[in-house]
Amino acid sequence: MAKQNLDWANIGFAYRKTDMRYVAAYRNGAWEEGTLTADDQITMTECAGVLQYAQTCFEGLKAYETANGDVVCFRPDLNAERMIASCRRLMIPEIPKEMFLTAIREVVRANLDWVPPYGSGASLYIRPYVFGKSAVIGVKPAEEYEFRVFVTPVGPYFKGDARPISLKVSDYDRAAPHGLGNIKAGANYAAALFMIENAHEEGYAENLYLDPATHTLIEETGGSNVFFVDKDRTIIIPHSKTDSILPSITRRSIVQVARDVLRLQVTEREVALSEIASFAEMGACGTAAVISPVGMVHDHGKEIVFPNGMEQSGPVVKELYDTLTGMQLGTVEAPEGWIFPVAEA
């Protein structure tokens, strides 16, 4: 076995077909045993539940090569649990946690050549997803499903590494109150494509969405949670009473790292757009970019610029980033159970 010959530091965030993927079928009321396959193509009826009524959800996590050459994942048990929650909401049969974790381990082990080397800044992105595969024309859940996991090597999500990003306050809503905002449904992303393209055209990395009911409270971006740091180094996490913020595993890890490792105060509460100019720092967090410092928020012609500006990260955001990525790469000790071993050096 030999590593793929890629320019790892510059691969960007794009799909590359790798060697093997995991497939399991749900038929006759039960999940069948999954297998690895080299075949990346899917054939299904034109009337499949996923094609007609978007009955699908997904997860996203990464495998890392650590400083000593092991390959590990970060808290995949939480991805398994979140996928179960997504399945329940979308009337998809739940993926058993053990099956999910086995699939992750097997797919990564079958694609070790594609795991970017330690120190490259790149990692192996893992995409589990499940979809309704049998025909439905009346609106109801499909009877057959497929659970799949593929991997693809990726560089840092936002161009320009840990440089600050700018966000645009959107007039559109990402997720309705009590809707699908708290699950990882593909439909949420379909709904946001229009706004993402618009933000990119105007030069912003992402949209910052407000609560749909009043458009005064901060929720999150299209693909990451956000958090703030006040002048006393307290971490402030936006809370939504209507459960429309996706429960980010990175954000939940930041809360614990801030409290237990960096000994910072953490508050979860509603955060008004009108108060964010008073904060010292802002970060966007999710698996893809881990933590991106936010330099500026554009709000209808008004620019809210954080003290760190667009050239460098704020100090607390940087401490959190260094600690969390250190845990993922094996240079900082992680809390018990956070690191999931996949392959040894």
Cα-trace Rg, the chain: 20
User: 197: number of CA atoms within 13 Å, CB side?
Assistant: 5
The binder of ligand PLP chosen from 18, 111, 134, 287 (CB under 6 A)? 287
By the rule CB under 6 A, 308 interacts with ligand PLP: no
Catalytic residues: 184
By the rule CB under 6 A, 173 interacts with ligand PLP: no
CA gap 32, 28 in Å, rounded: 9
By the rule CB under 6 A, 182 interacts with ligand PLP: no
Instruction: Give the nearest distance from C-beta 134 to ligand PLP in angstroms.
Output: 26
By the rule CB under 6 A, 206 interacts with ligand PLP: no
Q: Which two tokens stand for residue 307?
A: 């003290």
CA gap 83, 59 in Å, rounded: 7
Instruction: Give the nearest distance from C-beta 34 to ligand PLP in angstroms.
Output: 23
By the rule CB under 6 A, 128 interacts with ligand PLP: no
By the rule CB under 6 A, 207 interacts with ligand PLP: no
Is 113 in contact with 47 (CB distance < 8 Å)?
no
Which one, 134 or 250, has the nearer CB to ligand PLP?
Answer: 250
The binder of ligand PLP chosen from 93, 186, 286, 330 (CB under 6 A)? 286
Instruction: Considering only the stretches 16-24, 116-124, 222-230, 261-269, report the one whose residues sit in contact with ligand PLP under the rule CB under 6 A.
Output: 222-230
Instruction: Give the nearest distance from C-beta 110 to ligand PLP in angstroms.
Output: 23
CA gap 320, 327 in Å, rounded: 11
Looking only at residues 60 through 79 of this chain, which bind ligand PLP when binding is defined by CB under 6 A? 60
Q: In this structure, which amino acid lies at residue 153? A: P
Instruction: Considering only the stretches 87-95, 134-142, 197-205, 243-251, report the one whose residues sit in contact with ligand PLP under the rule CB under 6 A.
Output: 243-251
By the rule CB under 6 A, 246 interacts with ligand PLP: yes
Looking only at residues 255 through 284 of this chain, which bind ligand PLP when binding is defined by CB under 6 A? none
CA gap 193, 207 in Å, rounded: 11
By the rule CB under 6 A, 313 interacts with ligand PLP: no
CA gap 287, 301 in Å, rounded: 30
By the rule CB under 6 A, 123 interacts with ligand PLP: no
Instruction: Considering only the stretches 48-56, 84-92, 216-224, 295-303, report the one whose residues sit in contact with ligand PLP under the rule CB under 6 A.
Output: 216-224
Q: In this structure, which amino acid lies at residue 326? A: G
The binder of ligand PLP chosen from 21, 105, 168, 184 (CB under 6 A)? 184
CA gap 312, 12 in Å, rounded: 21
Nearest to 147 by CA among 119, 127, 170: 127
What is the 8-class DSSP label of residue 301? T
Q: Going residue by residue from 7 to 46, which x/- string records binding to ligand PLP, judged by CB under 6 A?
A: ----------------------------------------
CA gap 163, 266 in Å, rounded: 24
By the rule CB under 6 A, 224 interacts with ligand PLP: yes
Alpha carbon of residue 15 to chain centroid? 15
Backbone angles phi, psi at 294, to 5 degrees: -100, 125
Which one, 62 or 298, has the nearer CB to ligand PLP?
Answer: 62
What is the 8-class DSSP label of residue 8? G
Nearest to 78 by CA among 343, 335, 345, 344: 335
The binder of ligand PLP chosen from 165, 195, 249, 254 (CB under 6 A)? 249
CA gap 276, 299 in Å, rounded: 11
Enumerate binding residues for ligand PLP (CB under 6 A): 60, 184, 220, 223-225, 246, 248-251, 286-287
